[in-house]
Amino acid sequence: MVLGPVSMKWLLLLAVVVALVIPAGLLWKAALVLAAPLIALEVNMLRVAGIGVGVEAWGYAASGPLKEWLGWAAIGFGAIQVLALGLAMTRRRVHQVKIVA
């Protein structure tokens, strides 16, 4: 399974859907959609590192099930990050400054 392009496609689609439903400005929505490929790149790097650690720890025989499990975990972790970023964009606080004369 080639996870890089697959995870990027699904996380980008999730980011577009989240951007369509969150009550945020256009710039925040564009930032969310532009962050999705970076999140996909990050989780893919973590997946590859996890496979390397697993193969070193348990040998090459564990690489098949390990790749499958880490692939699903990486997509899940990326989806959580996209959803959390969308939620954080709706939770912005406006700080008001009171000027005392």
Q: Please give the DSSP secondary-structure letter assigned to residue 82.
A: H
Q: Among candidates 55, 47, 16, which has minimal Cα distance to 33?
A: 16
Q: Which are the contacts of 15, defined by CB distance < 8 A and separation ≥ 6? A: 32, 33, 35, 36, 82, 86
Of 10-14, 15-19, 56-60, 80-84, the least confident: 56-60
Q: Which residue has the tokens 């959390």?
A: 84
The domain locations on the chain are 3-90
42-75 pLDDT tens trace = 999 998 898 888 888 887 766 777 788 888 888 9
Which one is predicted more confidently, 94 or 22? Answer: 22
Q: For residue 21, name the pLDDT band (cuts at 50, 70, 90).
A: very high
CA atoms within 13 A of residue 12's CA, in its CB half-sphere:
10
Higher pLDDT, 100 or 37: 37
> Does pLDDT of 82 surpass 90?
yes
Token pair 């004369």 is found at 101
